[in-house]
Amino acid sequence: MARPRPSDILVTYRVETPGSPEALAAKIASDQSTGTFVDLPGETPELKARAAARVVAFERLDTAGAPSLPARGAAFNRAHVTIAYPLEAVGTDLSALTTVALGGVWSIKEFTGLRVVGLELPSEFDGVYPGPQFGIDGSRRLTGVYERPIIGTIIKPALGLAPDETADVVDELIKSGVDFIKDDEKLMSPPYSSLEARVTAIMPLIRDHEQLTGKKVMYAFGISDVDPDEMVRKHDMVVREGGNAAVININSIGMGAFLFLRRRSSLALHAHRNGWDLLTRHPGLGFDFSVYQQLWRLLGVDQFQINGIGAKYWEPDESFIQSFHDLQKPIFHDADRPLPVVCSGQWGGQAPETYRRTGQTVDHLYLCGGGVVSHPGGPAAGVKAVRAAWDAAIAGVDLQDYAKSHPELAQALAKFGAKSPTSEGK
Amino acid sequence: MARPRPSDILVTYRVETPGSPEALAAKIASDQSTGTFVDLPGETPELKARAAARVVAFERLDTAGAPSLPARGAAFNRAHVTIAYPLEAVGTDLSALTTVALGGVWSIKEFTGLRVVGLELPSEFDGVYPGPQFGIDGSRRLTGVYERPIIGTIIKPALGLAPDETADVVDELIKSGVDFIKDDEKLMSPPYSSLEARVTAIMPLIRDHEQLTGKKVMYAFGISDVDPDEMVRKHDMVVREGGNAAVININSIGMGAFLFLRRRSSLALHAHRNGWDLLTRHPGLGFDFSVYQQLWRLLGVDQFQINGIGAKYWEPDESFIQSFHDLQKPIFHDADRPLPVVCSGQWGGQAPETYRRTGQTVDHLYLCGGGVVSHPGGPAAGVKAVRAAWDAAIAGVDLQDYAKSHPELAQALAKFGAKSPTSEGK
């Protein structure tokens, strides 16, 4: 088997086929570089040495009884296959990488399952892309929150509030002591609530509160727009009014538009990975998050939503924990690590398990939507409850015990404790 | 059941669940508009009327015995569900549409399968996006080809040729009489063959041939780049040298970057949908092409690759035929129809079946890579064979009969006839 060269781009696939996984591995390497369906006169040994992708690792896995894609048969052979793509043939353009190694592969006929489970970029990619501008340290600096998670919440209801109604909600949320507020990712600039109207209604409240208390609440406005020129115009409007963050629906705008924005941005870019589930939810198809997140970190995501323990969505806790660890690993440098955003169905009750399973770190944004705004005592009590839960988690005190001296936490446990089961039981 | 309003955006899903599909339909409508995991004080009837998505059609399908996503059970209930999203809540921004209706839906826990099978946009979307600049008529005007398919080929080997070697191939292909040549989608601007070097080496050949013969071969250069500024720079370089087309890997750059380019483009934009297979190949997950293609047509794709009969990839012939018909249907106007690009494993043998099953139209680009360049008589013979196959198809003459007086076709039948089976046998 060929050895990888230091400059190779290494992509690991989990393949599944009723046929030979060795043959499938060779076919992927050929199809995604020099090959076509017939022999070619120009396909010389010299050319192949320059451009051909090569299989550099192959590990048989256990056979699957059921195929990932509908197919007949009783046994499907599986393997982990690592293919080395020459940097000379791909370059450092991420759209070339996705086309060659992370795109066309799913067109190959012979597999019943194909998932990209590993990506190792050579050092030649270091410095080509801007990476996070704020990340963990910048998010702490902008919010002034240290030595505990940044506590965030979301405007609810997600859709339907007029800008002045939104401002009323924001006013209450600011006074609740929360560190971060965001638009729901589904709220961008619809006719009934244009971004401009929201920015105009909300930013004076943020500024006034900062004047009064010295605390600047980070507000992430939904500035996504399929038109990059328009998105930058929206970005500039937020900056002009003193805002410091934006929610970006990364899959909806795409890699190019995100990079275009990042190169012009002075906001912390908070990524919502809407649609990601389609790319990862079937275990035999698509991508591991460990691969996907690398692309977006290089492009410059500052804060990355990754669900949480006991999420309201389909994602299992183990997957969330793995995602958290993925974001903690430098690609090339510590500074390319974005701030993990723990979210979905969070209310504080998951703090102990989150703390323990993420390596006892507090470097994240802990985002509670309904968990804050639907607290029986209102948002201020909701924020107190979440803060208390994290204090207890960090101190290693049981939440029920801590709640005896923290009535807001007691109220949260009573209201949400039955609704958001965690994997450690209740 | 609610009735749709004329301005509603209608999205039809095929849902699959071990539970109640009616309940799942209601959950999609709620989650993708106003709802969260707890009741909210601000979720008033007025707000719901403004922003709530509503189920407007529901049709039970037969029960599936196996789930699309791995799950336990013996019966999975399926239904077609149409949800009306209020235009007031979404607006006409395509990144909002994908976020709300075509993105977050896959995060919902309760389904074992979810596929978007229909999209009907209200007339408010008409004119918001540029649409195709060239499409069918413009592609014919630029190539000067009428009353037959535009015949195209692809530089092979796909990767590895130096620019001067590519130019040698192009020189031979131009002289073959082909109408259209393209870079392989995997070739963009790698170190060994920068786009600039290719444009500089190739365009003089195109221009000289035009001077000599009056025929301008359309050459589609791979100008995709994850950086939109850089992509426009590449576009401008091609224009400056007299080029008139470009290959764009639409999924790799994303919707925003494509729109950015389209708004500045004077090239025919030839879309390669790399990675599309992951979004459509599992029949219980992802998208029908009928939905996906609408977004890219609105954004401005001029020529759309959709495979062909007997493709070398996984896609069944029926799926290709359906895609062809999808592209033929106006969204709002005839002019929003791109030129279908019939491709993958094509060599002419599929012409009769393609002609018959696409409604006897010749409005497409028929793209043969290996099928032209690997013809035993060389590319010129390859083009002659393909032209002959189409002449025969249009005249309703059997290929074997026609080959008696067309030796290049006879050679092609002998070489490729056994390798590229079509669904109608050989």
Predicted confidence at residue A32, as pLDDT, reads 83
Tokens in use for B177? 């009489």
Rounded Cα distance, A64 and A281, in Å? 18
Q: How far apart are CA A356 and CA A361, in angstroms?
A: 8
Work out the angle at residue B319's Cα, subtended by the Cα atoms of residues B318 and B321, and round it to the nearest 5 degrees. 65
Give the distance between the most distant pair of CA atoms in chain A: 80
Whether residue B103 and residue A38 make contact (CB cut-off 8 A), yes or no, is no
Q: What are phi and psi of B181, to 5 degrees?
A: -130, 145
**Per-residue confidence (pLDDT) for residue A331, from 0 to 100:** 98
Q: Give A140→chain B minimum CA distance, Å.
A: 28
pLDDT at B421: 45
Amino acid at A270: H
Distances (CA, A) of A202 to A134, A199, A293, B174, B367: 23, 5, 31, 61, 54
pLDDT (0 to 100) of residue B16: 98
**Paired tokens of B222:** 């791979």
Cα end-to-end span (Å), chain B = 51
Q: Do B419 and A186 touch (CB under 8 A)?
A: no
* Contact list, A314 vs chain B (CB under 8 Å): 107-109
Q: Which of A226, A259, A369 sits opposite B95 (nearest CB)?
A: A226
Q: How many Å apart are CA B134 and CA A91, to the nearest integer? A: 31
* Nearest chain B CA: its distance from A373 CA (Å): 8
Domain ranges of chain A: 9-125, 135-419
Give the tokens for residue B58. 């529901």
CB contact under 8 A, A275 and B191: no
- Nearest-5° angle of CA B65, CA B69, CA B71? 65
Instruction: Compute the half-sphere exposure of residue A358: CA atoms within 13 Å on the CB side of its CA.
Output: 31
Q: Are B371 and B347 in contact (CB under 8 A)?
A: yes
Backbone dihedral angles phi then psi of residue B178, each to the nearest 5 degrees: -70, 155
Is the pLDDT at B422 greater than 50, yes or no? no
B334 Cα to chain A: minimum distance (Å): 24
Q: pLDDT tens-digit profile of B67-118?
A: 999 999 999 999 999 999 999 999 999 999 999 999 999 999 999 999 999 9
CB contact under 8 A, A252 and B98: yes
Q: What number is the average pLDDT over the span B403-421?
A: 88
- Amino acid letter, A307: N
For residue A188, the model assigns a pLDDT of: 96
- Which of B27, B193, B227 has the highest number of chain A CBs within 10 A, making it the mutation to test binding with A? B227
The answer to whether the CB of B392 falls within 8 A of the CB of B398 is yes
For the segment B342-379, what is each residue's pLDDT rounded down to a tens digit? 999 999 999 999 999 999 999 999 999 989 999 999 99
With a cut of 60, say whether residue B37 has pLDDT above it: no
A316 touches chain B (CB under 8 A): no
**What's the rounded mean pLDDT across residues B309-333?**
97
Helix (H, G, I), strand (E, B) or coil at B341: strand
- The answer to whether the CB atoms of B34 and A158 lie below 8 A apart is yes
Question: Is A237 within 8 Å of A266 (Cβ atoms)?
Answer: no
Instruction: Please give the CATH number for the structural domain made up of B135-419.
Output: 3.20.20.110
CATH topology agreement for domains A9-125 and A135-419: no
Over 80: is that where the pLDDT of B43 sits? no
Chain A residues touching B272 at Cβ < 8 A: 99
| A52 contact B CB<8A | yes
What confidence score (pLDDT) does residue B1 get?
Answer: 79
pLDDT by residue for chain A (426 residues), tens only, comes to 788 999 999 999 999 999 999 999 999 998 887 765 455 566 677 777 778 899 999 999 999 999 999 999 999 999 999 999 999 999 999 999 999 999 999 999 999 999 999 999 999 999 999 999 999 999 999 999 999 999 999 998 888 899 999 999 999 999 999 999 999 999 999 999 999 999 999 999 999 999 999 999 999 999 999 999 999 999 999 999 999 999 999 999 999 999 999 999 999 999 999 999 999 999 999 999 999 999 999 999 999 999 999 999 999 999 999 999 999 999 999 999 999 999 999 999 999 999 999 999 999 999 999 899 999 999 999 999 999 999 999 999 999 999 999 999 999 999 999 654 444 433
- Measured between its terminal Cα atoms, the distance across chain A in Å is 51
How would you label B220-231 residue by residue, b for 16+ Cβ within 10 Å and e otherwise?
bbbbbbbbbbbb
Distance from CA of B254 to the nearest CA of A (A): 4
3-class state of residue B10 by DSSP = strand
Contacts of residue B134, defined as CB under 8 A and 6 or more positions apart, other chains included, come to B141, B142, B268, B269, B302, B303, B339
How many CB atoms neighbour CB B146 within 10 A? Answer: 9
**Distance, C-alpha B118 to centroid of its chain:** 16
Assess whether pLDDT exceeds 80 at residue B420. Answer: no
Instruction: Report pLDDT for B40.
Output: 59
Percent of chain A exceeding pLDDT 90 equals: 90
* CA of B375 vs chain A CAs: smallest distance (Å): 10
In a 10 Å sphere around its CB, with 0-12 CB exposed, 13-18 middle and 19+ buried, how is residue B42 labelled?
middle
CB contact under 8 A, A96 and B190: yes
DSSP designation for B238 = H
Is B396 an interface residue toward A (CB < 8 Å)? no
> Facing residues of B220 across strands?
B182, B245
Q: Are A291 and A118 in contact (CB under 8 A)?
A: yes
Residues B144, B216 contacting (CB under 8 angstroms) = yes
Residue A316 burial (CB < 10 Å; 0-12/13-18/19+)? exposed
On the CB side of A29, how many CA atoms lie within 13 Å of its CA? 27
The interface residues of chain A toward chain B in range 63-82, judged by CB-CB distance below 8 A, are 66, 68-70
Please give the pLDDT value at position B426.
Answer: 34
Question: Which tops the pLDDT comparison, B406 or B49?
Answer: B406
* Fold category of A9-125 in CATH: Alpha-Beta Plaits (3.30.70)
CB A47 within 8 A of CB B160: yes
